[in-house]
Amino acid sequence: MKTFNIHEAKTHLSRLVDEAANGEPFIIAKAGKPMVKVMSLEQDPKAKLGRLDFLKGEQFVIPDNFDEFARDEIEQMFGLRE
């Protein structure tokens, strides 16, 4: 599989995406470190685009304190608070 640095991938993105869509995935690297793999959704068995609308038509209520919900626990998990 071919690897391209970010600058090269940006320069040739249209062609690279066409090639990936036709079964030739590639990797984009930053400073020599592989960062992402670009491949056709048709090849990725985990890509299930049909699931995007599985809650279509459902209604949800977002609580007023949503931004504060479990803040302490989340900050602790990420080491932002002891």
Report the chain (82 residues): mean pLDDT per 10 consecutive residues.
94 95 93 92 64 79 85 85 68
Give the pLDDT of residue 43. Answer: 66
Residue 36 inside a domain? The answer is yes
Four-CA torsion 7, 12, 13, 14, nearest 10 degrees: 160
Flag whether 32 is in a domain.
yes
Looking at residue 74, its pLDDT comes to 85
Q: Is 9 exposed, middle or buried (0-12, 13-18, 19+ CB in 10 A)?
A: buried
Domain count, the chain: 1
At a CB cut-off of 8 Å and minimum separation 6, what does 64 contact? none
The answer, as to whether pTM is greater than 0.75, is no
Cα dihedral 46/49/4/6 (nearest 10): -130
Write down the pLDDT at residue 37.
94
Per-residue model confidence (pLDDT) at position 34: 94
Which residues span the domain enclosing 8? 2-40+54-77
Q: Running DSSP on this structure, what letter comes out for residue 80?
A: S
Amino acid residing at 61: V
pLDDT on residue 78? 87
